[in-house]
Amino acid sequence: MKKYKILGLLGLFFFLAGKMAVSQQFPLTDHYLMNPYSLSPASAGSKEKGAFFFNYRKDWLSFGQSPETIRFNTHFYIGNSMYLGAEAFMDEVDIFQRFKGSLSYTYRLQMADEQYLHFGLWGSVYQNTINIDEIYGNPDDPLIRNLDQLSKMTYNTGFGLIYYNRNFEVGLGMPTLLRTKDAYLEQSQGNFAFEQEFQFHIGNTFDLSSEVQLQPYVVIRRTSNQPTIVDVSASFIFGKRFWVSGMYRNSQVVALGVGGELFSTMNLHYTYELGLGGIHYDGGGTHEITLGFKFGKNDFDDVKEYKQPRKKQKNRNYMLHDYQQMYEQKYRRD
């Protein structure tokens, strides 16, 4: 009887792990306005030539062993309008752990004066782990005696395109390009499987005065066979150094944030999420904090000044000759 209970418990864990991967393949973040690379690696080089960000997020404080995520990402300029980047995160929920590590390449193409097109491509490795040794039960049971954890590693890739025109930007991409064959079946058996993910965003920065700016932003995420997630946010920026922000997510979540530039190269941002319904309402709120370091301000020295093609002009001597002939003809008529 006990053996069947343990088997049932393990089966439940496998099923929950699969459902977690379906309902939310990867942990979300609210800090993409400060750290656009966390939304799409194609944004590398849009504001600075290099940056490093560290992020910590704790969901649903009222629940024990609630989701906890540690993330870092970086990107840097390598020359000829090209950037390399890297990201890693560890997401932990009770006995479940998910790790992601990725490398990215971004190319920045100048299309016109202050207009750029970014193309990003990245590859990622994932590891899904279930810590069997943390299950409450008889440690001498032969089913789990020599088994500390179950682990599965897999790979995927993604791409993104972002168009910038001064303070306006619009982007689209597929953060998860490859879909696992029979993904639903694989997830129900506890295996790490992927659904394709599509993403679109649009935003602009408006100057309300010489010291105040407004930045509205919309992000739409669509995962195959899952509900669409929509973020609508707005930030007020004061003196280009301090800001307050608000966001609404259609999963019945609102977020309030505050941040600023502590030093010329160091930024800090904090967000508190509050649920309006569902599991978020009783979750006790979510805290997220990001510390960022920016270096190598992007003055676009790597991109030549865009010049409109000039119209072909006549040779100066030839023009003088034409003028002289016209003058002589007029003189003869007179």
Q: Print burial letters for 161-185: b (CB count within 10 Å at least 16), e (below 16).
A: ebebeeeebebbbebbbeebeebee
pLDDT at 43 over 70: yes
Look up the CATH superfamily of 2-333: monomeric porin ompg (2.40.160.40)
**Domain range summary for the chain, segments of one domain joined by +:** 2-333
pLDDT at 224: 84
pLDDT greater than 50 at residue 298: yes
Q: What is the pTM of this model?
A: 0.79
pLDDT at 85 over 60: yes
Q: Which two tokens stand for residue 169?
A: 């930007």
Question: What local confidence, expressed as pLDDT, does residue 201 receive?
Answer: 98
* Rounded alpha-carbon distances, angstroms, from residue 46 to 35, 274, 294: 11, 31, 12
Instruction: Kindly state the tokens that stand for 85.
Output: 């980047």
Q: DSSP assignment of 90-103, as one string?
A: EEEETTEEEEEEEE
Tens digit of each residue's pLDDT (9 = 90 or more) over 266-279:
999 999 999 887 76
pLDDT at 206 over 90: yes
